[in-house]
Amino acid sequence: MQCADLITYLSDYIDNDLPVELTREAEEHLATCHNCKVVLDTTRHTVTLLKEHGQVAIKPVRRKAMFAQLETAFLKQPNQPG
């Protein structure tokens, strides 16, 4: 699994909704990729904060742009071993 694949499956991974094989691949990737581990930990922390403090609605166009910017920035980072 590559970083871009993990980003695609991140929500399903967090929700434990990935097939067993993809979960295994994600965990193998996370074991060696510091950047993806940071993204996973940050996303989990964000979800926890939202559950505790409520959600703020983001317009779909803005949300799409935000995720595109995050993905672009993330993919520009070198893959560093964790």
pLDDT in tens, 40-74: 999 999 888 888 877 677 889 998 998 898 888 87
pLDDT in tens, 3-44: 999 999 999 999 999 999 999 999 999 999 999 999 999 999
Instruction: Please give the model's pTM, rounded to 2 decimal places.
Output: 0.63
Q: Domain residue spans in the chain?
A: 3-76
Look at residues 79, 80, 55, 67 and name the one whose alpha carbon lies nearest to residue 7.
67
